[in-house]
Amino acid sequence: MQEKKIGTIHKLLGFIASFFPLFIIAVVAAGIAIAYVINRPDFAIRGLLVAVPAIFSAIFLSKMFREDLNHDESLLKRIPLNQRNTVLAFITLYVLSIIILFLSAERTLYYFGMMALIYVLILNQIFSKSSKAHIVLIELFLSSLNLIYSVTLKYPLYFGGTDIIPHLFLSKVTYLSGHLAPSDMSTLYASFPLFHILSSEFAHLSGLEMQSAYFIGLGLVYSILIVFIYYFFMKTTKNSTFSLLACMVYSVSGVVIYYGMYVITRTLAYAGFIIILYLLYKKDANNRGFAYQGLAILLTVFVVLVHQVSAAQIAVILFLLLACEHILSDERYINLTYFSLFCSMFVGYWFYFANVFLEELLLSRSNIQLYEEFQIKDTVQIGYEWIYIFNHLDVSIFLFFALIGIGYLLWDRIKANKRHYMDYFSVFALFALITLVLYIPTPIQTLWQTMTLFRFDRFMLLISPFMAFAMAAGIYILYSHLSNSGKKPVWIILISVLMAIFVFTSVYYNGPESKPILSTPVREYFTADEIQGFNHIMDHVEPGSVLYSDYHTQRFFTQENFSLSEELGLTFFRSYTILNVETIPTYRGYVIVRQKQFLDGGIYTGSGSSNFLFGPEDGNDAVLLSALSKDAKIYSNSGVEVYR
């Protein structure tokens, strides 16, 4: 019975792999047709982001399926580069990138271009005859730190999606008190304290103030994951060149760059997940991994205690890996015993120790009205299709290489026609194919229920190493194909140019500098003048006062009164977002206006999830001035004005 089941699965995979190019074209055609059927032609235009690279990948795959490519690592390392010269070139470009950072108030296009050159240099190093894995890993680690610190340490306070601000405050409370944050301060994080403990420990050990320790310490933790990912892939592929290539792609993937800057609880849970994978796949000289699995169990405790829902999403990833491994490999790295233990630990903790969180989680998603009809996200608006495409060019380049990698690896695996063919490449290829819909623009990413209610967007970071694997496979295979075709200068230039575009767009689009141009005109960081104004309020406004401000300023003043406020000497406020500018004269309290931000593009006002942009155009500047005229201005600088 088991033989029949396995045979059926392999026949299905063989069918999919053999007709993968046609399958790609059919899916593209069906998607465009459905967009017109539901009367959303804008979806069809957005779909070009996926359709164009998918069709090109299908063309290349159809040609590759007719060839026997030689993937021997030594045959691909052909670029005649001197290791000493490449290292000197890296140091030169790296120093220049830092100098460029110091020459302007913001990161400029010169900086993004310099980072693109750095990664193209690393790409050519990987395929050079004299490349050394440890040197490339050091360069990737330093480049990752460069991308992270160029934002978190350059701008006075980068806040991204604003969750950084409350986490900084919770870490400060943990640092000052020496205890866990009390439950009356945060019911959501009282049962998941490890992130704030770690942040406070960074401050204690470094002697730095909390914000600097937070960004420096967590940036180091995040960047060092590149080393774990390298050895994770090295263990399964036995191919150093491929593993380095996967690490390079991973380090410049958009979601990886974003969470390197926006490091919060789920980011640290992801770090724990990567180390767990490394430990599960690592075995000793006798091919046993009991000791490492024991360490993986300890890391499981860490993941459970650092973030609420990441453990559940990681369980889904582990289950899919377990299933793919069972289908295509005789190796058993992720065993059912560990998976069962992992699930038991986080479910047991939720029910017995984090029941307040579990109750809030279930209540917030038990309203039947949330599921009566599918809701399109507010950000998916008609009229912005071409801006959307321009804003996601890196996704198109990724998809082109990833589909080549996935399609060829599955075809190559089935082509062998050996039941015990030991090739773990195909396991990751199948996993990447299954989870690809969570990573690229698809109908799933347009729905409010999937992306906001059930937070499918957070899967993107968890599967990012496997998506990097798929893209690296595509680069590796295309490199081999073009090399065997005798087009030596062409394939070096072609892949280098595509990677330069990928790096430039990934770094630029996922940084705060692109947002005012391509998406929202509101900055994702506070300026020095704004921080100075906020500090004036903290020092001179009496505790418990009512503050009214734009959404991002309201998130800065998250300090509420709790049981240890007085003991720790922490001020507190009742902070609200301005519902409507015209209602400002009715407010009794302090009104905070980021005047420069308003004039540069606008501020967000409203309530809850119903925030809207209030910009300076259409006479809104006069409306704001009129609303504030009845209050006395008690403080102002070039960034902030305070009225009462």
β pairing state of 603-607 and 610-614? antiparallel
Query: If we measure between CA atoms, which residue out of 147, 52, 138 comes closest to residue 389?
Result: 52
> Phi-psi region for residue 373, left (φ > 0), alpha (ψ -120 to 50) or beta?
beta
Read off the amino acid at residue 109: L
Q: How far apart are CA 601 and CA 614, in angstroms?
A: 8
State the pLDDT at residue 6: 47
State the pLDDT at residue 630: 82
State the pLDDT at residue 43: 78
CB atoms within 10 A of CB 532: 16
Query: If we measure between CA atoms, which residue out of 578, 525, 644, 536 comes closest to residue 151?
Result: 525
> Are 512 and 614 spatial neighbours (Cβ–Cβ below 8 Å)?
no
Residues of the chain with pLDDT under 50: 1-6, 417-422
Query: If we measure between CA atoms, which residue out of 248, 239, 235, 241 comes closest to residue 77?
Result: 241
Q: How far apart are CA 255 and CA 120, in angstroms?
A: 20
State the pLDDT at residue 2: 40
State the pLDDT at residue 415: 66
Give the ranges where 510-568 is alpha helix by DSSP (H). Answer: 515-518, 528-540, 551-556, 565-568
β pairing state of 525-526 and 546-549? unpaired
Q: How far apart are CA 199 and CA 210, in angstroms?
A: 8
